[in-house]
């Protein structure tokens, strides 16, 4: 951690410090969204529907592999930031080396478990006879490359945990740029098809991981990938997994919730599914901005939790106010131009009307989603494993019964509003837990939840 990063952790004005950590995270995640669109576009130029179907079907598998990376990365990242706040620099080296090798082991376990069950996995993803071969090819490559993909997401987190937010963003951008270039090459030049696209993803993650490893080995004073610093201890395991496991569970729940929601919407026709799909894509942009903000400040909250709790309170307060401002701005824009936004994707009047309605309803929970993400980030940063675990499951546990009841009572409208209800319950649970933990975290934090 150089003097500049230490300055942002300890001395920079809170608004400037939050921007230093959050803006690179926001830009990195936004670029990833753009890449996912380009990825589908490049493959779409082949005019092979089965390939596009395979690409869509394998998203849950990629989400699981990414979740494995976040299991180690988020847990070790929050722990590393707290250790830096306590000036325990040798322990930072132990924790970062553990994260590096644990990621590789998790990836190898994914290979050992996944490859023998590959046909079952492909069927479980919902492949059709036409797309089965393409889906299997993609899954095979992704499983073989899972140690690299898991490592990439882990390293991105722990580099950011040291305060090197711009370096973290640079690695994410390198991955996206390399992936985009390779996609174009394997599709237009080498005609590699679905195997080429999957290989491009793995290779781009490898290039970015090498970038992170170089930074940790040559430029970072405290992070390490050296095996001589590798250490397994009760403290490391406890701090990494009590935060990492809830993050992993949350990722799995979000994927399952999306599948369940689609099953309910199918009852109301293809237009309902399409309208929700369009609305959710539009909602991704502000959601990723708020997510980048809340996830970006986790290292700052974790560091100040052990070093300066007054500054931690100021950081949380400023982030809360920023969430309110962003939610209001995005909300006004949506309510003014929702029809035009949906019209970018379709000219069907009924679909535009339905999509605009869903957009209006789901945007009501934008502030709630932002606050819930902030609550989760606070619990992760301050090592409140039980609270983080509850936050990881509460929305999924709430949404399923709410969906059944709301669908029975109010049909399509009930299904749409159930999302807002589940988000509201998560918000209330998070606020209550933060209030209960106020003395444990910091007595002055009470003012943030009153």
Q: Please report the pLDDT score of residue 178 as a whole number.
A: 92
Tens digit of each residue's pLDDT (9 = 90 or more) over 346-361 = 677 887 888 888 888 8
Q: Please report the pLDDT score of residue 386 as a whole number.
A: 86
CA dihedral 80, 83, 89, 95 (to 10 degrees): -40
pLDDT tens per residue, the chain (450 residues)? 566 667 888 888 999 999 988 888 888 777 766 766 666 667 667 767 677 777 767 777 877 888 888 889 888 988 998 898 888 889 999 999 999 999 999 999 999 999 999 988 888 877 778 778 888 898 899 999 999 999 999 999 899 888 888 898 899 889 988 988 998 898 888 877 788 888 998 999 999 999 999 999 988 888 999 999 898 888 999 888 888 888 888 777 776 776 677 778 778 876 777 777 777 767 777 888 888 888 888 889 988 888 888 899 899 999 999 999 998 888 888 888 878 877 776 677 887 888 888 888 888 888 888 898 899 889 988 888 888 888 878 877 888 888 889 888 888 889 889 888 888 998 999 999 988 887 776 644 444 444
Which structure tokens are listed for 38? 């380009």
pTM (two decimals): 0.79
Q: CA dist 140 to 109, 111, 194, 404, Å?
A: 14, 9, 11, 36
Tens digit of each residue's pLDDT (9 = 90 or more) over 17-29 = 999 888 888 887 7
Q: CA dist 156 to 4, 76, 166, 196, Å?
A: 19, 11, 11, 24
């Amino acid at each position: 951690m150089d003097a500049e990063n230490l300055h942002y952790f300890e001395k920079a004005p809170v608004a400037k410090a939050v921007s230093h950590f959050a803006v690179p995270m926001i830009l990195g995640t936004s670029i990833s969204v753009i890449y996912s669109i380009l990825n589908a576009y490049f493959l779409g130029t082949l005019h092979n529907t089965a390939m596009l179907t395979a690409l869509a079907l394998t998203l849950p598998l990629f989400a699981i592999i990414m979740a494995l990376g976040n299991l180690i990365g988020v847990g070790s990242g929050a722990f590393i930031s707290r250790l830096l706040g306590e000036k325990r620099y040798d322990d930072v080296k132990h924790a970062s080396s553990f994260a590096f090798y644990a990621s590789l082991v998790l990836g190898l376990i994914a290979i050992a478990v996944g490859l023998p069950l590959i046909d079952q996995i492909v069927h479980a993803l919902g492949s059709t006879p036409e797309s089965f071969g393409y889906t299997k090819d993609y899954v095979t490559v992704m499983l073989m490359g899972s140690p690299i993909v898991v490592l990439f997401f882990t390293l991105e987190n722990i580099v950011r945990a040291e305060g090197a937010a711009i370096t973290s963003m640079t690695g994410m951008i390198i991955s996206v740029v390399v992936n985009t270039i390779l996609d174009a090459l394997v599709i237009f030049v080498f005609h590699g098809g679905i195997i080429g696209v999957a290989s491009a993803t793995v290779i781009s993650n490898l290039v970015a991981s090498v970038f992170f490893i170089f930074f940790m080995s040559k430029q970072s004073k405290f992070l390490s990938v050296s095996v001589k610093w590798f250490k397994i201890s009760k403290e490391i395991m406890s701090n990494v997994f009590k935060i990492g496991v809830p993050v992993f569970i949350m990722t799995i729940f979000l994927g399952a919730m999306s599948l369940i929601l689609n099953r309910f919407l199918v009852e109301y026709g293809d237009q309902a599914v399409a309208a929700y799909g369009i609305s959710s894509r539009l909602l991704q942009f502000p959601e990723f901005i708020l997510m980048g903000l809340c996830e970006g400040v986790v290292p700052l909250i974790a560091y100040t939790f052990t070093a300066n709790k007054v500054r931690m309170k100021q950081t949380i307060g400023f982030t809360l106010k920023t969430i309110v401002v962003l939610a209001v701005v995005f909300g006004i824009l949506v309510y003014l131009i929702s029809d035009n936004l949906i019209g970018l994707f379709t000219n069907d009047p009924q679909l535009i009307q339905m999509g605009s309605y869903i957009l209006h309803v789901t945007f009501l929970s934008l502030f709630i989603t932002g606050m819930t993400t902030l609550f989760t980030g606070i619990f992760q940063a301050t090592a409140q494993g039980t609270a983080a675990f509850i936050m990881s499951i509460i929305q999924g546990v709430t949404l399923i019964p709410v969906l059944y009841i709301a669908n029975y009572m109010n049909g399509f409208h009930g299904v749409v509003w159930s999302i807002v209800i589940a988000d509201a319950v998560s918000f209330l649970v998070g606020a209550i837990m933060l209030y209960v933990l106020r003395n444990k975290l910091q007595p002055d934090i009470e003012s943030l939840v009153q």
